[in-house]
Each structure stands twice: as structure tokens, then as C-alpha cells.
């Protein structure tokens, strides 16, 4: 079954062929090592059998020495293979992390733009870590040892059929206990995972709104909401821990009872003359070794469930990853932008946000987009930049649909300033050049000057090397927005989309914005400006009015606004609200 989630197709498929093939090869190799380890694990039982039934009866010191030397050699070889198996599992986890983390991260960083919360994205991002950490525990080794349980039971059966049937009964009992653990904990584990995600979402929301919570005095109520969510998660998690620890204790008790039962039955058979003394010890050692993996698997069941769930989600995440097609590298666009009857839906809900919209812009033009809140303006911006996919229609640069470009290649030709300007941890220069590994200093300064921030940046102590982010310099909203504008203008992209670019700007910032838009037009680029403030429209010669997700009107600015051809954007009579009211009338 395939489910649409946030613009991606997520299904229950496992890892891609190349990675899955290598994983299967590694698993087969570990299984072979486990086979040898479990055969060698019979060394203790056979050694006891030979000591009691041969060395003691013959009272031969050379026989005792030879048996001890042989057993010691086999023990050392078994230990070496055990260490090798553990190291292979650790390195397998590291290799999976190395190969899968970048791939899953590529999907994870896309999830918020499709409406998923940061908590959901972080949960997906932790899946590789969970699988890697599980591979470094004893849980996988127990799983590899479980298939060899019949080997020990067969050995016990050869000593005496009654002992074999007793071992079989004990194995079935513990296997049933393992299955019961799986049945009882599966749904509860899923519910606990959902509760943990819900708690993380709530914590994330409250952290984002910490200033508002403090300023308006409802921190106590916020903490109370978190307390309720946390209590629900803790209750579910405590229930799972109680179950797994109880089953682990029962498993341990049953294993000790079985081991004692083997000794007791062996003693009875020895008294009856049907079994030797050495066989009693050998059967006891073999039965303990046969059931040890079951005991260990149950004790590790919580980690096993988490790793299994994460492994499945990794498969879904990588299935959701868009496979980049081999496309011919197209020349940079330089002529026009065409929007052809596009319909855009919200990725999570599927509700239509923009319907049957068409327009065309040519090089050197700037379009201003206005409309009431919720009219689809920001949705259009996301579609023009390729952030949101289209339900139908086409967006073309020089006649080529956006899908004909590789995402990284398309990004070179697009500049985007979203409503909420987010700067990444790094220097101002790195943010402006979009973390180009080979930045061009001249282009960085040109973009900064175009956004009107060069004089501001050089006043900082470290200039363009000033660190931003949680550990860096704190900037005002207007400063961050202008750095974001410089990033959008870096390397002269053909299409520049600005969503509320002057929401945090003062008069000087407005003038710099108008100059930046004019410079895009002057070099033959196309600029789309989405705004509620008239000052942002000064350099736009065409205005689009959006209403309820549709293009209500597209006309030259002088026809949209009152005041004639000589009007200036800074004048008070240039009012989008009046233009909207006129359009609706």
C-alpha cells in the first residue's frame, strides 16, 4: 500500500536494492560465523562429558591435559569469532549510518516544507541512530543464535531421548513466551511512540512561542499542558517497561527451572543406569546454552521493537526519496517565465489553495502580487520556486518545465526570500553564498550591496565572517531579512521571488529593496514580489490580484491603482486594500 505524505510516496518497501543487497550479504556472513560459534559453544558440554566419563574413570593425566588443551583452544577460537561478530555488527551499523544518514536527511529537511512538524522530522532523523545503536548491543547476537537452538536440543536428545523431550518442552515454553512478549508489547510500543511524538510537538511549539508565553503570563498553563502530555507518555512507557521486565524475569526463572529439571531427570536416569554422570553435566550445560539466546532476546525486546520500527521507517523514508533522473543540463534561462493553468494543493490535507492560474512574465519585468490573507499568494511563491509540487499545470522557464532541471541546478537560477527569514548556523558570507564550498568573494559583496547591507556588515567586528545562529550574533528582524535578500540575489538568479520582503524593513530598507528589484530588472531577470505594503511595489510595473486561490486580475500597475502613470509607491494613495476592494466590486 502506498500512502501520499507531504508530496512524497511512502510505502512499506525496504531499503533500495544496492544497500539491501550489501546488507543481506553481511547478514549471511554473520550467520555463517554464528553457526561456527554455536557449534564451538558445545565445547563446554563435550568437555564435561569427556572429563567425567573418560579422564576421571581412567585417571589419566595425559588424557586430562589433552582434553583441557583442546577445550582451551576451542574456547579461544570461539571467543575470537564472538569478538569478530560483534565488531562486524558495529561496523555494519557504522556503514549503514554512513550510507543512509545523508539520504534520510535529504528527506528530513524536506518534511517541514510539506507541513510536517520539526518533531516528526527529528523522529525520522533519529531512525538511523537507533538502528546503529541496536547493532552494537547483544540483541542482534541473540537473534543470530536463536536459529541454532535445535542444535543443542539435538545434542541433549542424543544423550537421552527423555532429556531431549524435556529440552524441547522448555524451548517451546520460552518461544511461546517470546511470541507473547511480541504480541503484548507491539501495540503498546506504537502508542508510546505516538505519545512521545505528541509530547515533542507540544514542547517544540512552546519553545517557539516562549516570548509570547512569558509576556502574556500563561507559562503555568503551558507547563500544565506539557505535564499532561508527559504523564500520558510516561504511563505508556512504564507499562511497556513493566511488561518486558516481567517477561524477562519469567524467562530467566523458567530457564533456571529447566536447567534444574534436566539435572534432576539426569540424576534419575543415572540411578536407573541409563545415563552417565558426565552426561548429566553435559546436558545441563547444553540446555542452558540453548535457552540463553531466548532469555537475552526477551531482555532486549524493547530495543528490538524500536530498531525494527526505525528500520521499517528508514525503508519508507528512502522509498519516499525522489530519484533524480539523468537530465540534460539546460542553458541558464534568460527569456521568460510561464505559468500554465496551475493548480496547487496543500501537501498534507489535499485542499486546493491555488486553482487554474496562468500568467507570463518576460525578462526585465517585475510582478507585484497582492491579495487578502489566505488568497494563495505564498502558495504561489512556493510553487514558482519548486518548493511545492503542482497538482496539475506547468511552470516553465524558457519553455522548459521546472522538473527538467535537477533541484540543485534549478536553485542556481532562483532566488527566494520567504515570509519568515531563517538563516543557518554559519557566517554571514556562508549564508549569502548559500554555503557554496568554493565561494566567490566578489559575488558575495555584489549581492550584499544589491541588498543594501554591505555598509552594515563591515561595521561588525568580524565583518562577513560574523557567525550567525544560536551561537552567533543576534540580529534584528530587519537585518536578518536583508541578509536573506542578499542570499536571494546571490549570483544573479534569473527568477527572484520575494514573499513579504519588507515586513521588517524601515524606510532605508524599503529604498534598498526597490533598488534591488530594479537591479534584477536591469540585468534581464524576472522578479515576483508578494506583499501587503505598497512600498514594495514601487519597481513593479504589473500587478496581479489574487482572490480565493484564483487570479482575479492582472494588469499594469497604473490601471490597478488610482493616481495615473506618475504615481509613486511611497505615496499614501497607492493602497493595495483599495485596489482589492475595487477588484471585488
DSSP 68-135: HHHHHHHHHHHHHHHHHHHHHHHHHHHHHHHHHHHHHHHHHTTTGGGT--HHHHHHHHHHHHHHHHHH
Residues contacting 460, CB < 8 A, separation 6+: 428, 466, 473
Do residues 367 and 544 touch, judged by C-beta distance below 8 A?
Answer: yes
Do residues 531 and 368 touch, judged by C-beta distance below 8 A?
Answer: yes
Q: Please give the average pLDDT of every successive group of 10 residues along the chain, which has 585 residues.
A: 37 51 80 92 89 83 90 92 91 84 78 71 80 86 88 90 90 82 79 82 78 76 86 86 81 83 89 87 87 80 81 75 64 91 84 90 93 89 88 91 85 90 86 89 92 90 83 73 91 92 82 90 93 85 90 87 43 48 49
3-state secondary structure of 346: coil
Per-residue pLDDT, 485:
92
SS3 content of the chain, % helix, strand, coil (to 5): 60, 15, 25
Query: Domains (ranges, CATH) in the chain?
Result: 10-320 (1.20.1560.10), 336-426+494-584 (3.40.50.300)
Do residues 101 and 69 touch, judged by C-beta distance below 8 A?
Answer: no
Per-residue pLDDT, 190:
78
Do residues 137 and 256 touch, judged by C-beta distance below 8 A?
Answer: no
Per-residue pLDDT, 9:
41
Per-residue pLDDT, 19:
62
Per-residue pLDDT, 40:
92
CA distances to 164, 208, 262 from 270, in Å = 15, 74, 12
| Cell numbers at 361, concatenated | 512574465
Phi first, then psi: what are they for 334, rounded to 5°? -150, 5
Per-residue pLDDT, 473:
59
Write down the pTM of the prediction.
0.69
Do residues 145 and 110 touch, judged by C-beta distance below 8 A?
Answer: no
Do residues 384 and 528 touch, judged by C-beta distance below 8 A?
Answer: yes
The Cα–Cα gap between 394 and 516 comes to 28
Match 556503514 to its residue by C-alpha cell.
Answer: 95
Phi first, then psi: what are they for 146, rounded to 5°? -55, -45
Amino acid at each position: 500500500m502506498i500512502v501520499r505524505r507531504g508530496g512524497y510516496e511512502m510505502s512499506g518497501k525496504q531499503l533500495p536494492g544496492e544497500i539491501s543487497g550489501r546488507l543481506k550479504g553481511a547478514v549471511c556472513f554473520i550467520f555463517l560465523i554464528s553457526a561456527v560459534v554455536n557449534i564451538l559453544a558445545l565445547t563446554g558440554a563435550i568437555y564435561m562429558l569427556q572429563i567425567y566419563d573418560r579422564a576421571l574413570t581412567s585417571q589419566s593425566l595425559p588424557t586430562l591435559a589433552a582434553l583441557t588443551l583442546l577445550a582451551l583452544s576451542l574456547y579461544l577460537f570461539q571467543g575470537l569469532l564472538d569478538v569478530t561478530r560483534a565488531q562486524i555488527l558495529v561496523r555494519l551499523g557504522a556503514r549503514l549510518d554512513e550510507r543512509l544518514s545523508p539520504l534520510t536527511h535529504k528527506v528530513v529537511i524536506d518534511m517541514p516544507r510539506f507541513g510536517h512538524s520539526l518533531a516528526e522530522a527529528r523522529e525520522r532523523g533519529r531512525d538511523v541512530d537507533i538502528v546503529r545503536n541496536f547493532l552494537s548491543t547483544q540483541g542482534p547476537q541473540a537473534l543470530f543464535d536463536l536459529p541454532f537452538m535445535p542444535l543443542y536440543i539435538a545434542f541433549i536428545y542424543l544423550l537421552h531421548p527423555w532429556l531431549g523431550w524435556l529440552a524441547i518442552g522448555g524451548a517451546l515454553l520460552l518461544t511461546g513466551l517470546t511470541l507473547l512478549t511480541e504480541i503484548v508489547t507491539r501495540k503498546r510500543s506504537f502508542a508510546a511512540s505516538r505519545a512521545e511524538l505528541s509530547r515533542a510537538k507540544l514542547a517544540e511549539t512552546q519553545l517557539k512561542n516562549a516570548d509570547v508565553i512569558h509576556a502574556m503570563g500563561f507559562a503555568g498553563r503551558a507547563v500544565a499542558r506539557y505535564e499532561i502530555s508527559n504523564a500520558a507518555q510516561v504511563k505508556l512507557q512504564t507499562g511497556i517497561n513493566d511488561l518486558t521486565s516481567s517477561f524477562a524475569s519469567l524467562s530467566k526463572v523458567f530457564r533456571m527451572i529447566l536447567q534444574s529439571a534436566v539435572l534432576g531427570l539426569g540424576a534419575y536416569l543415572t540411578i536407573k543406569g541409563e545415563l552417565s554422570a558426565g552426561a548429566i553435566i553435559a546436558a545441563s550445560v547444553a540446555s542452558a546454552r540453548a535457552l540463553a539466546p531466548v532469555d537475552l532476546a526477551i531482555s532486549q525486546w524493547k530495543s528490538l521493537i524500536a530498531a525494527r520500527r526505525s528500520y521499517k521507517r528508514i525503508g519508507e523514508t528512502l522509498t519516499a526519496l525522489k530519484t533524480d533522473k539523468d537530465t540534460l543540463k539546460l542553458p541558464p534561462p534568460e527569456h521568460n517565465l510561464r505559468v500554465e493553468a496551475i493548480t496547487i494543493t496543500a501537501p498534507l490535507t489535499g485542499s486546493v489553495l491555488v486553482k487554474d492560474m496562468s500568467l507570463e512574465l518576460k525578462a526585465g519585468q517585475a510582478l507585484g502580487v497582492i491579495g487578502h490573507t489566505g488568497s494563495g499568494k505564498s502558495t504561489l511563491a512556493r510553487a514558482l520556486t519548486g518548493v511545492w509540487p503542482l497538482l496539475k499545470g506547468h511552470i516553465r522557464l524558457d519553455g522548459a518545465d521546472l522538473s527538467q532541471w535537477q533541484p540543485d541546478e534549478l536553485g542556481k537560477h532562483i532566488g527566494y526570500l520567504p515570509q519568515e527569514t531563517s538563516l543557518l548556523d554559519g557566517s554571514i558570507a556562508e549564508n549569502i553564498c548559500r554555503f557554496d564550498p568554493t565561494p566567490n568573494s566578489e559575488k558575495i559583496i555584489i549581492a550584499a550591496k544589491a541588498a543594501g547591507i554591505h555598509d552594515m556588515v563591515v561595521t561588525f567586528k568580524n565583518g562577513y565572517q560574523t557567525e550567525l545562529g544560536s551561537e552567533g550574533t543576534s540580529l534584528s528582524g530587519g537585518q536578518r531579512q536583508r541578509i536573506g535578500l542578499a542570499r536571494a540575489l546571490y549570483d544573479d538568479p534569473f527568477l527572484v521571488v520575494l514573499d513579504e520582503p519588507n515586513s521588517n524593513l524601515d524606510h532605508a530598507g524599503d529604498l534598498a529593496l526597490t533598488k534591488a528589484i530594479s537591479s534584477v530588472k536591469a540585468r534581464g531577470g524576472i522578479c515576483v514580489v508578494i506583499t501587503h505594503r505598497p512600498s514594495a511595489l514601487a519597481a513593479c510595473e504589473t500587478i496581479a490580484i489574487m482572490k480565493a486561490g484564483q487570479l482575479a486580475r492582472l494588469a499594469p500597475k497604473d490601471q490597478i491603482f488610482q493616481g495615473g502613470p506618475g504615481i509613486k509607491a511611497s505615496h499614501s494613495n497607492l493602497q493595495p486594500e483599495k485596489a482589492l476592494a475595487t477588484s471585488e466590486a
